[in-house]
Amino acid sequence: MIASPDGLVWTSLFWISLFWISLAALGFSGSAAQSATTERVVVNRFTGLAIEGYDPVAYFVDAQPEVGLQDFEASAAGAVWRFRNEGNRASFVAHPDVYGPQFGGYDPIDLARGVTVAGNPRFWLIAGQRLYLFSREEARDVFAADPARVLHDANARWPALEQDLSR
């Protein structure tokens, strides 16, 4: 039996539509750079990498975000962290509380509002010898204008939000 060109087109459209609807139902959005927001540390749900594979020590040493290498990994807080070299890895392993992003990489502006939003490793700031990641550039600017106020509110809300993340 030979299908007419119109029938073939409609059948193809049906299966293509069904494919995309299925992907949407599974939560696929087409971007591998999405982060989970149900963990105490922001982790890419596809790779298992914390802060998208950026080296957390590089923010302090190089004063800029640097992508870590697979050859220099460490596990901490349920996530895989990558580093540019063995020295950065050793520093992090010895002091993860110093070099890891505060609030597990969640945006402190959003935490101060009572919600957990994953920070983006490209929007960052070091304040008080601690690394903070922000979901957007505007949030970083608001934080930079008055970090004490934001941190007061974020620190007050963080324990309850962190507890909810572990459920």
Least confident interval from 9-18, 70-79, 131-140, 149-158: 9-18
Per-residue pLDDT, 164: 86
The model's pLDDT over 72-90, given as tens digits with 9 standing for 90+, comes to 999 998 899 999 999 999 9
Structure-model confidence comparison of residues 14 and 76, the more confident one: 76
Tokens of 56: 């957390």
What mean pLDDT is predicted for residues 61-68? 97
Q: What is the pTM of this model?
A: 0.76
145-162 burial code (b ≥16 CB/10 A, e <16): eebeebbebbeebbeebe
